[in-house]
Amino acid sequence: MIEQSETRPKVANNITGDVWTFGDNIDTDLIIAARYLNSSDAEHLAKYVMEDADPSFASKVKKGDIIVAGENFGCGSSREHAPIALKAAGISAIIAPTFARIFYRNAFNMGLPIFELKEANEIKETDNITVDLDSGEIINNTTNKTYKFTPIPPFMQELLSTGGLMEFAKKEASEKL
């Protein structure tokens, strides 16, 4: 029997950004409305991200900003367009107490970091926060409060570090050649 001692690399970085807040049950149709799903072009989708929740969001969001939301973020239809649109709009991470399971998986597959934090409602819009993946902490730089988030499994960290499932598969394939 051959033993494999494989150590997957961790995402060794911090994510810092300004916060946008949304409430509970933000579904995938609020993230990117079905009327825009005739395209899978990320830049096109980014122009309409969160339009039905906040019509001016796409014009205000900056690269590196972070969404902090309520329970069950990403519920509704199973569509990869939702994390693609958020990532293309510049969102660097999403924090919520819970995520819809299919959105959770789609986000990691697309390389969009998401973090489960029960106290997410304590973080307010316009706060500036840092997600420290090494320590498993979210630091609110505005209030100086620190929170522990649910750890991300090592394989999921590797999906993030390579940019998502497709990039991970390409990397794995090239290493086997």
**For the residues 147-176, what does the mean pLDDT come to?**
86
* Max Cα–Cα distance, the chain, nearest Å: 59
Q: What is the pLDDT of residue 11?
A: 44
State both tokens at 25.
């049950």
Residue 164 CA to residue 118 CA, distance in Å, equals 25
Percent of the chain with pLDDT over 90: 72
**For the residues 70-95, what does the mean pLDDT come to?**
95
Domains of the chain: 14-176 (3.20.19.10)
Radius of gyration of the chain (CA): 16
What does the pLDDT look like over 98-127, one tens digit per residue? 999 999 999 999 999 999 999 999 999 999
Residue 165 CA to residue 62 CA, distance in Å, equals 25
Q: What is the pLDDT of residue 135?
A: 86
Asked if 147 and 119 count as a contact pair (C-beta separation under 8 A), the reply is yes
Task: Measure CA 164 to chain center.
Answer: 11
Q: What is the pLDDT of residue 154?
A: 83
Highest mean pLDDT among 32-41, 82-91, 150-159: 82-91
Q: What is the pLDDT of residue 71?
A: 98
Q: What is the pLDDT of residue 123?
A: 98
For residue 142, count other CB atoms closer than 10 A to its CB: 14
What does the pLDDT look like over 5-45, one tens digit per residue? 344 344 447 999 999 999 999 999 999 999 999 988 999 99
> Above 80 in pLDDT, residue 3?
no
State both tokens at 73.
């973020």
Burial of residue 102, with CB atoms counted within 10 A of its CB: 0-12 exposed, 13-18 middle, 19 or more buried = middle
